[in-house]
Amino acid sequence: MSALEVTTWKAPLRRSARGLLSFARAQPLGALALVAILLMLAAGVFARLIAPADPVAIDFTAVLSPPSAAHPFGTDNFGRDILSRIIYGARTALIIGFTSSFLGCALGTLLGVTSAFYGGRVDLAMQRFVDMLLSFPIIVLALVVVAMLGRHLIAGVDVNLLLAIAIPITPQVARVIRSAALSIRAAAFIDAARIAGIGNIRIIFRHMLPNVMAPSLIMLTAFIAQAILLEASLSFLGLGVSEPTPAWGLMLAGNAVDFYREAPWIIIFPGLAISVAVFAFNFLGDSLRDWLDPRFRA
């Protein structure tokens, strides 16, 4: 996420409805992205109501049929309705995306802020550790975690998959948040708090964290995108979500590889879904940053 430069700025994030409208006016494309995301959320939540068919229902009479009235996106090699699988896939993508990115961002933020606050040897050690993790391509790190932990299902959710996606996110967040936190650390009000005898823990939570919230939030949108992409990649490799759970990456994997040349629709729609989701989150993050960062205003 080197393209995401984060700055701290003075005005707190306005969460009122007025803020939303002003955002929509200033960043129309970002607002569009937000709408797309909300639609996805709706699809995920109301999947049962919206989806025309059961996503795991196998129907050998309609294997690999092209898009038609009965199956608007066609069927896959098991005769399952692709549209329904995509709608349910939104649920998987969003759950995994939100949870793992939230986990990664929370951990990374805490790490970055603590590192910046204490400075000295603590900072140096954490930086070394973060550098180490950052020297790996994200997918490699995820694969190593997967290799290490295998699968561990809790209530149908593969916790280790969440970790595998969250762990590569953590050092990226930590690095960016650390530099934002360093500039806050240098601000006079932190000195004022120390002089007033306020304890370190309280300073970190009450004074530093709230001031990195804005950049943190923007990073969150970008990392949800990364998480969705990572999950898709892992599922594609067979190391992520497993059958028969509908997941976009999974729909591109395995048997799809054998059949997509004859039946391109089995990969076009899932790939499109992934792209649109990642696109929307990235664009939202960009627009948020452009909107809030005074340097980027005209």
Partner 1 sequence: MNPSSARHAEAPASQPDAGYLLAVSDLRVQFETSRGTVHAVDGVTYGVRRGETVALVGESGSGKSVSALAIMRLLPRTTARVSGEVLFDGRDLLALPAAHMRALRGREIAMIFQEPMTSLNPVLSIGLQLSEPLRAHLGLSEARARQRAIELLSQVGITDPEHRLRQYPHQLSGGMRQRVMIAMALSCGPKLIIADEPTTALDVTIQAQILDLLRDLSRRLGIALVLITHNLGIVARYADRVNVMYAAQLAEQAAAGPLFATPRHFYTLALLRSIPRLDRRRTARLATIEGLPPDLRDPAPGCRFAPRCAARIAACENVPRLAEIGPGHRSACVRAHEVAAAPEPAADSGARRRPAALPPLLEIEDLKKHFGVAAGPRAAMIRTPLVRAVDGVSLVIGRGETLGLVGESGCGKTTVGRLVVGLETPTSGRIRIDGRDIAGDAVRDFRGFRRKVQMVFQDPYSALNPRMTVGAFIAEPLLVHRLVPSRAAARARVTDLLRQVGLYPYMAERYPHELSGGQRQRVGIARALALEPSLIVCDEPVSALDVSIQGQVINLLESLRDRHALSLLFISHDLAVVRHICDRVAVMYLGKLMEFADRDTIYDAPRHPYTQALLDAVPVPDPAIEAARRPSRLKGEIPSPLDPPAGCVFHTRCPIATERCRREVPELRELSPGHHAACHNIGGAAA
Partner 2 sequence: MTRYLTHRLLLALPTLLGVAVLIFIMLRVVPGDIVELKLRGEGGNVTQDVVERERARLGLDKPLAAQFGDWMVGLVTLDFGKSMWTERPVVDEIGLRFKLSFELAILSMLIAVAVALPLGTVSALLRDTWIDYVVRFVSVAGLAMPAFWLGMLMILALLHFFNWLPPITFTPLWQDPVANLSQLIWPALAVGYRYSAVVTRMLRSSIIEVMNEDYVRTARAKGMRERIVIGRHALRNALLPTTTVVGLEFAFLIGGLVVTEQVFNLNGLGKLFVQAVTRNDFTLVQGLVMLVATVSVLVNLAVDLLYAVLDPRIRYR
Q: Does 137 bind partner 2 (CB under 8 A)?
A: yes
Q: Does 146 bind partner 2 (CB under 8 A)?
A: yes
Distance of closest approach, residue 79 Cβ to partner 2, in angstroms: 21
Residue 195 interacting partner from partner 2, partner 1, none (CB closer than 5 to 8 Å by kind): partner 1
Please classify residue 54 by burial: count the beta carbons closer than 10 Å to its beta carbon, then call 0-12 exposed, 13-18 middle and 19+ buried.
middle
Q: Does 236 bind partner 2 (CB under 8 A)?
A: yes
| Residue number, 71 or 185, with CB nearest to partner 1 | 185
Which residue in 113, 190, 208, 278 binds partner 2 (CB under 8 A)? 278
Q: Does 122 bind partner 2 (CB under 8 A)?
A: no
| Touching partner 2, residues 190-219 (CB under 8 A) | none
Give the rounded distance of the alpha carbon of 158 from its chain centre.
17
Residue 268 interacting partner from partner 1, partner 2, none (CB closer than 5 to 8 Å by kind): partner 2
Q: Does 148 bind partner 2 (CB under 8 A)?
A: yes
Q: Does 195 bind partner 1 (CB under 8 A)?
A: yes
Distance of closest approach, residue 261 Cβ to partner 2, in angstroms: 6
| Residue number, 117 or 281, with CB nearest to partner 2 | 281
Residue 244 interacting partner from partner 2, partner 1, none (CB closer than 5 to 8 Å by kind): none
Q: Does 205 bind partner 1 (CB under 8 A)?
A: no
Give the rounded distance of the alpha carbon of 252 from its chain centre.
20
Site size for partner 2, by CB under 8 A? Answer: 51
What would the DSSP string read from start to end of 97-133?
Answer: HHHHHHHHHHHHHHHHHHHHHH-HHHHHHHHHHHHHH
Q: Does 198 bind partner 1 (CB under 8 A)?
A: yes
Which residue in 210, 238, 257, 272 binds partner 1 (CB under 8 A)? 210
Q: Does 103 bind partner 2 (CB under 8 A)?
A: no
Q: Does 294 bind partner 1 (CB under 8 A)?
A: no
Q: Does 35 bind partner 2 (CB under 8 A)?
A: no
